[in-house]
Chain A
């Protein structure tokens, strides 16, 4: 496989084959917690995409320098630095959104996706392709979070990105905005994705 094809395949993998949090069951906490509206989902997804792309790039450039024994600690320091940057930038330019996302922005540090990609991909591959992987996982995560947020916002409060969609007569299912709605929405979406994969005859159904 040529190099460009390889990068193309990596870019595509994050959108379906490895799409978090459905295929790659990592990073569930923010996907449950902040997806009460489509806007929050989009913001969180973009913040994570930024961190995972840059951390993959940096870690993969340093992969021959970092000693094996302290690699996890070094990864965490790199990731924490990037997360602090995101946190400060969001507070400066998107203050309402950063208040909404609350502690889940600093918690990107312990988001398993970032560390998982660092350990599983960036530590073994050259920088360019690692960044491609970061972009693809990040975009996949953004899409999933926006989708979950849209479903919960549409049915739970009858709006989308803050705009009212349904008329006055629509009675919102308030329970979707609360904690249980998050679990059930993601569970059902995961089931539907499995169903679709089985119908297409794909082979990567998780146990």
Chain B
């Protein structure tokens, strides 16, 4: 039951994009069309879960026993960067179709703060292995959900009449604000 709560709360209530504000550069950058948003969402789910497993293991079995917590930032970013590279190489070799579908977004993920953010949140909350897995999956699915919903909105925005000064990023941010307001409605469900 606790795991179920954790999943619901990290997908909807503490949505990583709309309530924790992580990963906004791709959020505004690739959300202009649903197709590209889908590719990005898939890549993010994939990398977030993998990097959560690796960073959690490193932190629990290497950094903490030796009292090296201050190296956390440096280690995590290196793990994520090399992981993204590795995934890119493997996909290129094994599954050309998926590689082409994810394309440039895979490389961009290194600097996506959602991936690093999930890794850091996990160590801050001191989760166990199963909880960590649930948290990583639920958070990245929440990210994908918000990204896709938002891409749908932005496709509509392109054909609406918007004051000149508000066009582009400005109206996108206000739209995201209204969406975030809707997600606040989930607060009653789980803390």
Interface residues in chain A, defined as those with a beta carbon under 8 Å from any beta carbon in chain B: 25-26, 28-30, 32-33, 72-73, 76-77, 80-81, 83-84, 87-88, 102-103, 106-107, 109-112, 115, 175, 178-184, 186-188, 190-192, 194-195, 198, 206-207
Count of B residues near A, CB < 8 Å? 46
Please, which residues of chain B bring their CB within 8 A of the CB of A206?
A: 168-169
Of all A-B residue pairs in the complex, the 7 with the closest CB atoms, nearest first, are A183-B177, A187-B173, A184-B177, A187-B174, A33-B21, A194-B165, A28-B24
Q: Is there an interface contact between A207 and B74, defined as CB atoms closer than 8 Å?
A: no
Which of the residues A88, A186, A192 comes within 8 Å of B173, measured between beta carbons?
Answer: A186
Q: Is there an interface contact between B180 and A183, defined as CB atoms closer than 8 Å?
A: yes
Given the interface pairs A28-B24, A179-B184, A183-B180, the reply to whether A190 lies near B173 with Cβ below 8 Å is yes
A17 to chain B, nearest CB (A): 16
Total number of A-B contacts with CB less than 8 angstroms?
126
Q: How far is the CA of A188 from the CA of B180 in the complex (A)?
A: 16
Say whether B58 faces chain A, with CB atoms less than 8 Å apart: no
Q: How far is the CA of A23 from the CA of B45 in the complex (A)?
A: 30
Please, which residues of chain B bring their CB within 8 A of the CB of A83?
A: 73
Q: Is there an interface contact between A109 and B77, defined as CB atoms closer than 8 Å?
A: yes
Q: Is there an interface contact between A180 and B70, defined as CB atoms closer than 8 Å?
A: no
Which of the residues A29, A87, A187, A194 comes within 8 Å of B113, measured between beta carbons?
Answer: A29
Please, which residues of chain B bring their CB within 8 A of the CB of A84?
A: 70-71, 73-74
Q: Is there an interface contact between A81 and B74, defined as CB atoms closer than 8 Å?
A: yes
